[in-house]
Amino acid sequence: MTVRIAMWSGPRNISTAMMRAFENRDDTVVSDEPFYAAYLAATGLDHPMRAEVLASQPTDWRDVAAAVTGPVPGGKPVWYQKHMCHHMIDGFGLDWSDACINAFLIRDPAAVLASYVRKRSDVTLGEIGVVRQAEIFDRVAQRTGTAPPVIETADVLAEPRGMLTALCAALGVDFSERMLSWPAGPRASDGVWAPAWYDVVEQSTGFAPPSPAAPAPALPDDLRAIADAAQPYYDNMARWRLAAARA
């Protein structure tokens, strides 16, 4: 039986490092943002490497949904799918996700915005994905009758082993030591957009230690307004976040 994991994140949330951790397992295949091209095609947004992204993936969300619920690449027992919440715009169905174990990777909105604008100067509340993430979280919780697994970026960086052990238990898979480190460099599984976004993770060999405690990022007024609007949605999910497993 295949375990299909839909990990829901926004941008700048260590989502690619998490994908690296799962890909380094012997039993797991990964997929990198399979709805990205469909999202760009439907919205017309001008993202870095737009033409390359559109050429690399199906642009109809229905085709993507069929693929991520279809045969598992390589026949592996675990399929880890990295999904960006903001890619699931109005009109894109979510029924396909009922075939997955849904989990949520969250990060404080102010920290997300401080990182995001280093790569892309224009940003909206919708593009950081927190509101949509909360909607998908609520959908899963209502369907299953329980809160799905939630992990916080800062918690993972502070205690990678404990948090990944807790996450694996919540997902129903065994923890593997191989999740804690990986070889540096690009992967064939990376989206074609990797040169525009993955420079830091390509240099990594594991989860970076957290930065020393610091005050919340100082944001200009326009970004602070976005962070403030996103905060209640983040807070609602954060109250369900997993605690690190103890040996």
Is the pTM here over 0.75, yes or no?
yes
Q: How far apart are CA 93 and CA 70, in angstroms?
A: 16
Could you report the per-residue pLDDT of 102-160, keeping only the tens digit for each?
999 999 999 999 888 777 667 889 889 999 999 999 999 999 999 999 999 999 999 99
243 inside domain: no
The pLDDT of 54-63, averaged and rounded, is 98
Band of residue 89 on the pLDDT scale cut at 50, 70, 90: very high
123 inside domain: yes
Tokens 């050429």 belong to residue: 55
* pLDDT of 10 above 60: yes
What is the residue range of 12's domain?
3-238
* pLDDT of 214 above 70: no
How many residues appear in the chain? 247
As for how many domains the chain has, the answer is 1
244 inside domain: no
Residue 79 in contact with residue 23, Cβ under 8 Å?
Answer: no
Average of per-residue pLDDT values in the chain = 94
* CATH number of the domain within which 118 lies: 3.40.50.300
69 inside domain: yes
**pLDDT for res 217:** 66
3-class SS letters over the chain: CCEEEEEEECCCCCHHHHHHHHHCCCCEEEEECCCHHHHHHHHCCCCCCHHHHHHHCCCCHHHHHHHHCCCCHHHCCEEEEEEEHHHCCCCCCCHHHHHCEEEEEECCHHHHHHHHCCCCCCCCCHHHCHHHHHHHHHHHHHHHCCCCCEEEHHHHHHCHHHHHHHHHHHHCCCCCHHHHECCCCCCCCCCCCHHHHCHHHHHCCECCCCCCCCCCCCCCHHHHHHHHHHHHHHHHHHCCCCCCCCC
Distance of CA 144 to the CA centre of its chain: 21
* pLDDT of 227 above 70: yes
247 inside domain: no
Q: How far apart are CA 107 and CA 17, in angstroms?
A: 14
